[in-house]
Structure 1
């Protein structure tokens, strides 16, 4: 695949290594209970870690020989698995390879309804997301063994989205709908399959908790059925990053460019964007562009989860509430919403304004855990 350079105005938003924690902390899951293993893989992924999911010791041993990963912890579905000759041989190989014993935890008493860590729950808060207490306890159990994998579990008490923006008339809200559209997720899967190498596809989707979508015949329909847990998009985002660990940002940006086609695919929407600059000045053009984009987002998610405001310095703020592309994720070291950055860039290209405006993410839910992400579009001064 051809390389894609990251736009200059995005460089300040790019973390040095968005999968740094995952590189350091690989957790091997050996569990025949597929639902539990997949929910756990999703949870670990949303906590910034890297899961390797297998059903048997043989499969785990085989992947170790092929990929040569260093597990910081083994999660076993059944304690009796440790008594098998093959597991003893595998464990001995790990000990010889890394000159240390790998910690083991059993999962016999753990059951998860899903893998979400940070969720919109209007009954708990109408302005910000909340952390799942049940899933927090599972993470704390893991962190007792791997303390360096720990991330904060508290939603920010103060943030731009919840404190300052309401003073400007941008009031925070959380998603009422607990599911996202199947058609959108299908397109995200299609885009991901174009950038993730074929030999990694099934392994990576399984490792992030999306094993049910390994086969295209099991993908959700192209109809607008709201049945997809929103955190699945975030897990898919991480799978894309894991597929090119040497250049995770470049890889996710390739995916973002393809996902853009889904967001901006309606001919009427593109036509409207193209017509705006022909009749208005720069400031009015941006107002109309953001208004059009906001209406499109509201239609896609079936509720008002985006808003914008013009500031006195002639820049614009744009807010995504219960942001879909980082939904549930915690522990980011810098703003990480590459898909929306790519989308804004594409909109500026369509409207022929890419040289007139700069876009950056001011605040990311991956850091604050509020669920909301704030962007600023600033006019380029000549």
Structure 2
């Protein structure tokens, strides 16, 4: 099957952190619940948040990290009355040679930190933008008009137009929770990937401050909102903004050490090619991978289909790692891309298949991502 050129990126020809570089937001808010929800929302909108509880922390971080905020979100007006605030603001003017707008947060209420959510009351097929998040973004965009992107649900997308033809039915996550154990593995892998200082700073910057210590994890099996995986993924990328995809690969290698390389899975993957042909090998690998991911979601969120030309499509519904992410300028499911390549490598069929993400929710805002595997 042939896909339109714009849906078939052969290489990473865009900066995955472009919006984060262009739209840096300083959040000064002593209300840590609101602060963390804001940090998550800003992250999912593709921007970069730096968080501080007060002006002292904000000024200290600025002096240490030399970030260039395009706006300050101010939680408490008394912070502006602090004698240190005018010194900080004057320093920004001196360094940046421009005034930085200040947006007060006094009347802002956010029920959570999600942006693009699975909500059956709004749609059973695609994700929809949170109403509270939409209101906040429209106010923010009055200060940062260049940061705008469309919040209107798409009328046409591959998952809407082609999946039914292939016998696949688009759907959204009903449970909206994923495996706590899997998320803990992701956190452990991130801790090994980031420096100690990055761990302490970046998790709060993406709305995950509560997970800086292992004790904060909840013991129940399925408790993690899926947007947490996206925010953690962005934190890993922020740790090396020059080579964010390479940083993701390091992270996935560490997760693989916990998940993909379990003895039983390796045994299956390494021996199947000796028994069956390449086509059936890939079917087995995709079934194994789908079952693993579906178990982590506690519902069927991954499907695959063999097309008439011998290629395969794999659909991640309400996809992890880019769940809630919007405004991307290119396919952004780097985790799944790396995972596919690792699975094919373990199955000893890497040289026989090419993997491409042909539609990404971070661009279409449907909530779903589609990969195409074709013979090399």
User: TM-score, with normalisation over the residues of structure 1?
Assistant: 0.93
Match of 1:63 among 61, 74, 88: 61
Report the alpha carbon displacement of residue 15 of structure 1 after superposing the two structures with TM. 4.6
Matched, 1:228 2:224: yes
- In the aligned structure 1, how far is the partner of 2:11 from the partner of 2:124? 29
- Give me the whole-angstrom Cα distance separating, in 1, the residues matched to 2:312 and 2:371: 8
* Residue 284 of structure 2 corresponds to residue 291 of structure 1: no
Pick one of 181, 185, 188 that aligns with 1:187.
185
Distance 1:48 1:259 in 2: 24
Two-structure CA RMSD over aligned residues (Å): 1.5
Aligned-partner Cα distance in 2 for 1:336–1:260: 19
Q: Distance in 2 between matches of 1:114 and 1:106?
A: 19
Residue 155 of structure 1: CA displacement?
2.4
**Mapped partners of 2:61, 2:291: distance in 1:** 47
Unaligned 5+ segments in structure 1 are 1-9
Listed one character per residue, the Cα deviations across residues 245-266 of structure 1 (whole Å, up to 9, x for unaligned) are: 1111111121122223444244
**Is the Cα contact below 8 Å between 1:260 and 1:342 reproduced in 2?**
no
2:84 corresponds, among 76, 83, 86, to 86
| 146-155 vs 329-338, greater mean Cα deviation | 146-155
1:38 aligns to what? 36
Q: Give the distance between the partners of 1:184 and 1:277, measured in 2 at CA.
A: 28
Determine whether 1:280 maps to 2:298.
no
* Contact 1:13/1:361 (8 A) holds in 2: no
1:97-154 CA distances to partner (integer Å, 9 max, x unpaired)? 2222110011110111211000111222111111111111101111100111112212
Correspondence for 1:128 among 121, 126, 129: 126
Out of 62, 74, 89, the position equivalent to 2:72 is: 74
Question: How far is 1:78 from its partner?
Answer: 1.3
With 355-364 and 292-301 compared, the bigger mean Cα shift is at 292-301
Post-superposition, which runs of at least 4 consecutive aligned residues in structure 1 deviate over 4 A?
Answer: none
Aligned residue-pair number: 369
Q: Work out which of the residue numbers 356, 363, 382 in structure 1 matches 2:359.
A: 363
Corresponding position of 1:113: 111
Structure 1 Cα separation of the partners of residues 154 and 251 of structure 2: 30
Question: CA–CA distance in 2 between the matches of 1:251 and 1:15?
Answer: 17
Corresponding position of 2:170: 172
* 1:317 counterpart = 2:313: yes
For the pair 1:137 / 2:135, whether they are aligned, the reply is yes
Offset of 1:11 from its aligned partner?
7.9
Instruction: Please name the residue that 1:330 is paired with.
Output: 326
Q: d(CA) in 2 for partners of 1:320 and 1:283?
A: 21
TM-score, normalised to structure 2, is: 0.95
Q: Secondary structure at the match of 2:350?
A: coil
Match of 2:237 in 1: 241
Q: 1:250 to 1:153 in 2, by over 3 A?
A: same
Are residue 97 (structure 1) and residue 95 (structure 2) matched? yes
Distance across 2 between alignment mates of 1:194 and 1:85:
40
Is 1:344 aligned with 2:340? yes
Separation of aligned partners in 2, 1:267 and 1:88 = 59
Alignment of 1:154-169 (within 5 A): 154-169=152-167
Distance in 2, matches of 1:118 and 1:98, equals 33
Equivalent residue in structure 2 for 1:215, among 204, 213, 216: 213
**Residue 360 of structure 2 contacts residue 369 of structure 2 at CA under 8 Å; is this kept in 1?**
yes
CA contact (8 A) 2:9 2:358 kept: no
Seen in structure 2, the aligned counterparts of structure 1 residues 13 and 365 have a Cα distance that, compared at 3 Å, is: farther
- 1-structure distance, mates of 2:61, 2:129: 33
